[in-house]
Each structure stands twice: as structure tokens, then as C-alpha cells.
Amino acid sequence: MAVAVRVIPCLDVDAGRVVKGINFEGLRDAGDPVELAHRYDNAGADELTFLDVTASSGNRETTFDVVRRTAEEVFIPLTVGGGVRGVAEVDKLLRFGADKASINTAAVARPDVINEISRHFGSQVLVLSVDARRTRPGSQPTPSGFEVTTHGGRTGTGIDAIEWAREAADRGIGEILLNSIDADGTKDGFDLELIRLVRAAVKVPIIASGGAGEPAHFPPAVVAGADAVLAASIFHWGPDNMMSQVKQAIRDAGFEVR
């Protein structure tokens, strides 16, 4: 029996506020994260994802406080990413109320950290965030045509995104947050080619992210292989019933939703 598709709002948090831009640039304020989390919980969101977009600045205590306050207000699963470097950060996030931790840059720099975290806490708490983009002209091509990026999509690594997803799955991640840097914030739809390629490479759940602009964009991502769909702008600035519209679109396409 197929598992129900999850719909997940994403809150990009910067210095205690939710922000959103296009291709990770031109960020604008979208509100208080705890208030938005409460709103999405009431609207029927299945999970929430917080990404600290300025974690490298060292302002982590703000995020820990946001996690704590959110966990006190809402009771759906909460994934937190940004600045997660190892077991210590995951432990602290879980103690502050997160259910799962998302890792990106630290895993690219030292893949063994995936094994360490999954052994310590179990794979169910670890989400690999893959910020993938098509290789740029003049850059080293990858076998799939997609490369892993870090630092909010600004830094290319030359690592093939599909091979990286496969390696991370073998190392023990619980699921993959697959974000298309090319589609992020464009509202033109998910990168279906990217989803299909990763789906063919791994068996772990895939959360598709990047590009949703209307409810009709969500079912094709599920058809392409996504187990969950994540979006930000469409929920932040859409009508109050956008969550129900998205779920109905997925349901009308023949998929079960929570």
C-alpha cells in the first residue's frame, strides 16, 4: 500500500525571522516563524522544516530558541537544518524539540559524519539536504548533469548530485530533501528531471523542493518520484486555504494525502 504524500511548508529563518527569495537571493521578510508554524499546523501541514539560512554567521542560539518556542506550540514533526556539523548539534536540536535534523555542507566536507549521526540517533532523525543545480557552462561536467552546491547554492562542488544521494543513502540517511537551486523561488514548477534521477538511484524517501507556484505543480513531483513535497512562497503569500488546495490537487491526481 502506498504511503500518503506529505505536504511540508519550509521556513527559511534568518536572525529569528522567516525570509524568502529567488534562487536564494533577494531575501524578504515573511513573518515570525512561530506564528507561521502555528498557522500551518492549523491549516493541516503534515510536517514543518526550518532552515537556518545564516547558520555560518554563528547566530545559532536564535534558531535554538525558535525551535524551542515552536515545539511548545505545534505538535507535527519538525525538521531543522543549517549549521548542523555533527552529533553535538543534532543532540542539542533534539533536546530543544526538533524531531529530525537536516545536514548539508558538513556532510559534503566529511561524509563520515552521516555514519556517525545515524549510528548515534538512528537514520530516522537524519535528513540529507541536497542543493542541486545543473552544471554551469565552463565548469567541470558531472555524469548526471547536476552538481551538489553548498552555502545556499552559491558554491559549486563538482560532486555529482545523483552519486552523492546514492552514497549518502548507503551511509544511513533517513530521507533526502532534494532542493533544485535552479527552480528555487521561481514558481515555475518542480525540477522533474532531477526528482526522477534521484528516485531511480535511491530507495529512501525524497522530499521535493524548489519551484512550486500553484497547486497544479505538486502532483507531477509525486509522479516523478517524490514521497513528500515542500514549498515556501506559495504558503507564505498564498491564500489561507492554500494547504487544502495543494492537498486536493494531489488527491485529485489519484494519490493519498494525509
What is the pLDDT at residue 139?
78
What is the pLDDT at residue 54?
63
Q: Are 70 and 57 in contact (CB under 8 A)?
A: no
Residue whose C-alpha is closest to residue 236's, from 6, 11, 5: 11
Would you put residue 254 in left (φ > 0), alpha (ψ -120 to 50) or beta? left
> What DSSP line would sit under 178-241, residue for residue?
EEETTTTTT-S---HHHHHHHHHH--S-EEEES---SGGGHHHHHHHT-SEEEESHHHHSS-TT
Record: fold of 6-253 = TIM Barrel (3.20.20)
- Could you list the beta-strand ranges (E) of 82-204: 100-103, 126-134, 146-150, 155-160, 175-180
Strand partners, 148: 132
Q: What is the full per-residue pLDDT of the chain (258 aa) written as tens digits?
A: 468 999 999 988 776 666 654 444 445 555 788 888 888 999 999 999 988 766 544 556 657 888 898 899 898 999 999 889 999 999 999 999 999 999 999 999 999 999 999 999 999 999 999 999 998 887 788 999 999 998 777 788 999 999 999 999 999 999 999 999 999 878 899 999 999 999 999 999 999 999 999 999 999 999 999 999 999 889 987 888 999 999 999 999 999 998
Active site residues: 12, 131
Give the residue extent of every domain in the chain: 6-253
Inter-CA distances, 27 with 13, 129, 148, 152, 235, Å: 11, 20, 22, 12, 16
What is the pLDDT at residue 23?
44
What is the pLDDT at residue 186?
85
Task: Give first-to-last CA distance, the chain, whole Å.
Answer: 14
